[in-house]
Amino acid sequence: MKHLPGYAAGRHLLLTVLLCLIASMGHSQTQEEVSTDLTAPVVVDGQTVITLSGTSSFSAEDRAAVVSQRIIEIADASESMSMNIDVIENEFGHAVNIDGAQVVIVTGPDAGREGLDDTLLTARLYSELIQESIRLYRVERTSAARQRGLIAGLLWTAVFVAFTAILVWLNRHLKTRVERLIQRKWRVVEEATQEIVRSRAIAEVVAVAVQGVLMVLYFVVLYYYVSIILFSFAETRPVATLLLNHFTDPIIEAGHAFVGFIPSLIVLLIIFFVTRYLIRIARVTFENIEAGTVRIDGFQAHWVWPSFNIIRAVLIASAIILAFPYIPGSDSAAFQGMSILLGVMVSIGSNSVVSNILAGLFVIYRRSTNVGDRIKIGGHIGEVTAIKLTETHMKSFKNELISIPNAQLLNSEVVNYSQHIDGRGLLLHTTVGIGYDEPQQKIEALLIEAARQTNGIKKSPPPFVLRSALGDFAVTYEINGFSTRGNQIPRILSDLRGNILDLLHREGIQIMSPHYENDPETPKIPEVPEPEKKPARS
C-alpha cells in the first residue's frame, strides 16, 4: 500500500501517543533512577524519532548519532514503503533490525526512561517509530514531493517579491508623507518658539525611525522566507528547523513568559493608575490652596509646592515598595544583589545629602526664611530665589548666584531684612563723625533732613539721631530711619549717605571721620550746587 505523507505523520503521532500512555502506566521508581541529562534525541530530517540513554561505554550523543546515520542509510537503500522488521533478544536487551540491518539495541535504561521494565515492548514501540520515520524520509524524496516543494518555493518567492515591492513603495512614499505631516503639525510650534523647535529636524528623525522599523520588518520576513524555502526540500529541512528553532523558540518563550506575567502586570497597572490619581488629587488640592479657594489656618503660601513635592515623593516611594514583588526578576539573586549594592552605595554617600534634605524641610517650615526675603548669612547678603530640599539659592547685590547648603543655613545665624518684627519696619542707620566745634542741634537737624529726603525711609515713625561715641577729635552721630523696603537696603543707605554729604558740605561742615590728625589749611569741603527751585504752581 502506498503511504502518503499525511498518513505517515498521523501514524507517527498515534504511536507517540501510545508510547506516552504506556509510559505513564509504568513504574515511577524506574523514571527517577534515570537522569534526563544523560539522554539524546535521534533526529532524522530535523524531526526527533526516539530518545536514547547513555551507557557506561557509549554516550547518549554518540548512540543517537550512530542510530540516526543507520536510519538514513537504510532509508536511502530503497524506495519501497514496505520493510521487514525484526526484534531480536541479545545480551544487552533487544535489537531492532530493519531489512536485515541492525538499527538500535534497546537497553534497560532506555526502557526505564520510558517508564517500562520490559525492553521487548520498548523495542517494538521504537521499531514502529523508526519504520514511520523511514517511510516519511522516502516519501519526502519522491519526485512528487520534490515537485510540491518546488511549487511551494516558487509561491513563497512570489509572495516575498511582492512584499519587498510593497515595502520599497512604502519606504519611498511614507517618508515624504511623514515629513509633510510633521512639518504641518509643528509649524505653529516652530513659529511660536522662533525656530527653536525645528519641524524639519523632527520630521527627519521620525522618518529615520519609520525607515528603521521597515528595515527590521524586512529582515524578519527575509529570515522566515529563507527558512520556509529550506523547509520545502527534505535535504535542507534540518537547516530550516535549526533556523526556525533559534529564532522562533525565544519568541515563543517570551510570549509564554508574557502570558504568565499578565496577572502581575495587572497589579502593576492598578498601582500605577491609583498612584497617578492620588498625585493628581494632591496637585489639584494644593493648586486650590495656592489660589485661595481652600484655606487652612496657619498654612503659609510658600509651603504649597514643597508640601506637594513631599507628598508626591511619599506616594511614589510607597508605589515602588508595593510594586517591587511584582516586577519580573525581583526574586532573582542578580536583582537582589544589585539592590544590596545600590543600598550600600546610597548609605555610604548620602549622609550629607540626607542631612541637607532634613535641614531643607526645617528651613521651609520654620518660617524664618522665605523665597524673596533679603537675608544675611555669614559674609553673604542677597535675595532668596529658591529653597530646595538640599540647598538654598541666593542672588547677591552684584547679581551673583550663591548656593548655600541647607545644613549650613540651619546651623548659622541668619539676618532677615524682609520680615518685620513690628509694624514700624526695618531700622536702617549710618554714622558720621563731626567736630566738637559744630553745634549738635544743627548736626541733628541736618541728619534728620537728609533722612527725610531719602526715598525708602518712612516719615512716620520719624527718623532720629543717636550720639554713638565721643571720640578724641569728633562726635560720632548715628542717623536712624525706618524702612519697609528690605530688598533695597544698599540703595537706600547709599542715597542717605549722599544726602548727608550734600547737606553737610552745603553748610560748610567738615566731616572728620574715620581718622583726623589736625586742621588742614583749607577745609576739605567741595562746592555743592544749590538745588534747583521748582516754579510755584499758579
When pLDDT is averaged across residues 253-276 and rounded to a whole number, the result is: 89
Question: Which one of 3.30.70.100, 3.30.300.30, 1.10.287.130, 3.30.830.10 gives the CATH number of domain 426-506?
Answer: 3.30.70.100
Asked if the model's pLDDT at residue 6 lies above 70, the reply is no
Distance in angstroms (rounded) separating the CA atoms of residues 450 and 528? 15
Cα–Cα distances (Å) from 260 to 252, 263, 265, 266, 503, in that order, read: 12, 7, 9, 11, 90
**Grid cell 522488521 — which residue?**
85
Answer yes or no: are the C-beta atoms of 68 and 127 closer than 8 Å.
no
Distance in angstroms (rounded) separating the CA atoms of residues 318 and 450? 62
Write the secondary structure of 96-147 as one string of H (helix), E (strand) and C (coil).
EEECCEEEEEECHHHHHHCCCCCHHHHHHHHHHHHHHHHHHHHHCCCHHHHH
* Identity at 126, one-letter amino acid code: Y
Asked if the model's pLDDT at residue 354 lies above 80, the reply is no
288-331 pLDDT per residue, tens: 888 888 888 777 776 787 788 889 989 999 999 899 888 877 77
Distance in angstroms (rounded) separating the CA atoms of residues 403 and 109? 78
When pLDDT is averaged across residues 474-491 and rounded to a whole number, the result is: 87
Asked if the model's pLDDT at residue 409 lies above 70, the reply is yes
Residue 293: the pLDDT is 83
478 bridge partner residues: 431, 466
Cα–Cα distances (Å) from 53 to 16, 283, 379, in that order, read: 18, 67, 85
Answer yes or no: are the C-beta atoms of 453 and 531 closer than 8 Å.
no
What mean pLDDT value characterizes the chain? 79
Better-predicted residue by pLDDT, 17 or 59: 59
By C-alpha distance, which of 141, 144, 147, 135 is closest to 2? 135
Distance in angstroms (rounded) separating the CA atoms of residues 416 and 409? 12
Asked if the model's pLDDT at residue 33 lies above 70, the reply is no
Q: HSE-up of 130 (CA within 13 Å, CB side)?
A: 36
418-452 pLDDT per residue, tens: 776 666 788 899 999 998 888 999 999 999 999 99
Asked if the model's pLDDT at residue 32 lies above 70, the reply is no
Better-predicted residue by pLDDT, 298 or 454: 454
Distance in angstroms (rounded) separating the CA atoms of residues 447 and 463? 9
Asked if the model's pLDDT at residue 83 lies above 60, the reply is yes
Report angle CA 147, 45, 62 to the nearest 5 degrees.
160
Phi and psi based region of residue 294 (left: phi greater than 0; alpha: psi -120 to 50; beta: remaining): beta
Asked if the model's pLDDT at residue 26 lies above 70, the reply is no
Residue 464: the pLDDT is 94
* Identity at 420, one-letter amino acid code: H
Asked if the model's pLDDT at residue 143 lies above 50, the reply is yes
Residue 414: the pLDDT is 82
When pLDDT is averaged across residues 228-249 and rounded to a whole number, the result is: 79
* Identity at 461, one-letter amino acid code: P
Residue 521: the pLDDT is 62
Q: What are phi and psi of 469, to 5 degrees?
A: -160, 150
Cell triple for residue 8?
Answer: 505517515
Q: What is the dihedral of CA 232, 233, 239, 244, to 10 degrees?
A: 10
pLDDT band, very low/low/confident/very high, at 346 (cuts 50, 70, 90): low
183-224 pLDDT per residue, tens: 676 666 556 555 545 666 777 777 788 888 888 889 889 988
pLDDT band, very low/low/confident/very high, at 13 (cuts 50, 70, 90): very low
Cell triple for residue 174?
Answer: 511614507
CB atoms within 10 A of CB 85: 15
- Reduce the DSSP state of residue 329 to 3 states and report it: coil
Asked if the model's pLDDT at residue 457 lies above 60, the reply is yes
Residue 532: the pLDDT is 60
Cell triple for residue 154?
Answer: 516558487
pLDDT band, very low/low/confident/very high, at 403 (cuts 50, 70, 90): confident
* Identity at 437, one-letter amino acid code: D
* Cis status of the peptide bond prior to 250, with omega within 30 of 0: no
Helix (H) or strand (E) holding 265: helix 237-291
Residue 449: the pLDDT is 93
Q: CATH classification of 355-416 is 2.30.30.60, yes or no?
A: yes
Furthest C-alpha separation in the chain = 144
Residue 1: the pLDDT is 38
459-470 pLDDT per residue, tens: 888 999 999 999
Residue 296: the pLDDT is 81
Write the secondary structure of 483-519 as one string of H (helix), E (strand) and C (coil).
ECCHHHHHHHHHHHHHHHHHHHHHCCCCECCCCCCCC
Q: What are phi and psi of 376, to 5 degrees?
A: -130, 125
Residue 297: the pLDDT is 79
pLDDT band, very low/low/confident/very high, at 494 (cuts 50, 70, 90): very high
Distance in angstroms (rounded) separating the CA atoms of residues 138 and 451? 117
Asked if the model's pLDDT at residue 245 lies above 60, the reply is yes
Residue 267: the pLDDT is 93
Residue 277: the pLDDT is 95
Better-predicted residue by pLDDT, 145 or 15: 145
Q: How far apart are the first and last CA of the chain?
A: 135
Give me the percent of the chain exceeding a pLDDT of 90. Answer: 16
| Distant-in-sequence, close-in-space partners of 223: CB < 8 Å, separation ≥ 6 | 243, 247
Asked if the model's pLDDT at residue 334 lies above 90, the reply is no
